[in-house]
Structure 1
Amino acid sequence: MSFNNLTLLNEAMNASDLRQKTISTNIANINTPGYKVERVLFEDKLKKANSGLELDLSRTNERHMFINSPFRDLKPEVVKRTGTSVKDNGNNVDLDYEMSEKAVNELYYSSLQRQVNHELSQLNYVINH
C-alpha cells in the first residue's frame, strides 16, 4: 500500500467521524423548530475523483517525479437538506432514518479501521523481517 492510499483511508475515516458527529447533531435537534438535517458528502466525491483513472502510480523513491493524485484535495463536505419537512414546525429530522445511517456509518468506520490495521501490520512485518 502506498502513502497515498493510507492518506485516502485517513480522509475516509475523518469523513466517517464527521458523519457520526453530524448524525448526532441531527438527532439532538429532533424537536428544534425549523431545523434542517445535515449530510456529509464524501463517497460520491471519491467516486468522481476515481472515475477515468486507469493507472495506479506511486513513488517508490524520493527522487522519482511526483504524480499529482486526484485524491490530494479530497475532503468531506457538510450540506443541509432543505427541501423537505417531516414535522409541521419545519423540522426534517427522521429518527428512524438517522439511526439507520448511524448504524451503517459505524460499520463503515470499523471496516476502514480494519483496512488500516491490516496495512500497517503488513508494513510492520516488512520492516521487521
Structure 2
Amino acid sequence: MLKNNDETTDYFRISKKQAHSSFWFSIIACIIGILMICLSLYSVFVIKNMQFAIVGITGGTITELIAGTVLVIHNKSALQLNYYYDALHENEKILSAINLADKLDKESRRKMYKEIIRVQICNNDTIRKNKG
C-alpha cells in the first residue's frame, strides 16, 4: 500500500512537471510565431520587402500551427493524466479499506469485504451511467 502511494506521488510529480513544460513550450512558440508575423507585416508596409515578408509570414504561421497542436496535445494529455491519477487514487482507497478490514475479527471482516465490493460495484455502475 505504501509502495502504491509512493508511485502515485512520483507519478503526479513527473506528470505535473511534463505538463508544465509542454504548456510553456507552446506559449513561447506562440509568442515567437506572433513576433514573426508582426515583423513580416512591418517588412511589407514599412520596408517594402516582399521576400522577407513571405518567408516570415510562412514561418510564423507554421510556428503558430505547431504551438496550437502542442496546446491541443497538452490538453488531451492532461485529461488522460487526470483519469489515470483518479484511478490510482481510487485504487489506494480500496487498498486502504481492505487493509483496515484485515484488522477486524473474522465475521466482521467478511461483512466489511462484502460492503467494500458492494460499494465498488455501485461506484462503477454510477460511473458507467454518467459516461453513457
TM-score band, normalised by shorter chain: 0.3 to 0.5
Richer in helix (by share): 2
Return the TM-score normalized by structure 2. Answer: 0.43
More relative contact order in 1 or in 2 (CA 8 Å, sep 6+)?
A: 1
